[in-house]
């Protein structure tokens, strides 16, 4: 799948749509999900044009990957949900493609926490 420059996160990165920024550096932007599913629901995205996790893993530079992983950890820490900092825990989710139910085709992590999140998957479709 080729990268779609009109996806909503590309528009956020170009400044065409506002966002509630949590963290930004050379390679990464993190911002609150517009439809938060938990007290902490932050999206972490690379600034580069990657469609999904597999695309990012295969094609991002080492510097981008390191910055991205560190940023996700920093978000969890700053949101107060990281166990290493005394927080009560969090979950990171990355949906990819049709079966993963990915809605926005720009790679992103969801950092979720601040409440009991339940088991990861249910057996029924929803
Ligand atoms: P996914 O299904 O993993 O692609 O999730 C996409 C996420 O992007 C959803 O949780 C949406 O609520 C979120 N989202 C969509 N548009 C925006 C926006 N303009 N600002 C912040 N989050 C958004």
Q: How far is the CA of 123 from the centre of ligand 1 (A)?
A: 24
Q: Is 106 a catalytic residue?
A: no
Is residue 95 within 6 Å of ligand 1 at its C-beta? yes
Which residues constitute the domain of residue 93? 8-113
Residue 126 maps to a domain: no
Residue 32 maps to a domain: yes
Q: What string of pLDDT tens digits covers the 126 residues of the chain? A: 799 999 999 999 999 999 999 999 999 999 999 999 999 999 999 999 999 999 999 999 999 999 999 999 999 999 999 999 999 999 999 999 999 999 999 999 999 999 999 998 877 665
Q: pTM value?
A: 0.96
Is residue 63 within 6 Å of ligand 1 at its C-beta? no
How would you class 16 by CB atoms within 10 Å of its CB: exposed for 0-12, middle for 13-18, buried for 19 or more?
exposed
Residue 120 maps to a domain: no
Question: How big is the CA angle at 73 (ends 69 and 79), to the nearest 5 degrees?
Answer: 145
Per-residue tokens: 19 = 């966002």
Q: How far is the CA of 33 from the centre of ligand 1 (A)?
A: 6
Q: How many structural domains are present in the chain?
A: 1
How would you class 43 by CB atoms within 10 Å of its CB: exposed for 0-12, middle for 13-18, buried for 19 or more?
buried
């Amino acid at each position: 799948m080729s990268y779609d420059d009109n996806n909503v996160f590309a528009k956020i990165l170009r400044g065409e749509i506002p966002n509630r920024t949590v963290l930004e550096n050379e390679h990464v932007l993190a911002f609150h999900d517009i439809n938060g599913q938990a007290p902490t629901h932050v999206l972490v995205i690379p600034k580069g044009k990657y469609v999904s996790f597999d695309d990012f893993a295969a094609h991002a530079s080492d510097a981008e990957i390191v910055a991205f992983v560190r940023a996700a950890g920093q978000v969890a820490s700053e949101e107060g949900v990281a166990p290493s900092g005394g927080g009560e825990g969090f979950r990171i989710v990355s949906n990819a493609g049709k079966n993963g139910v990915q809605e926005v085709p720009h790679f992103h992590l969801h950092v979720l926490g601040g409440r009991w999140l339940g088991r990861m998957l249910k057996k029924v479709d929803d």
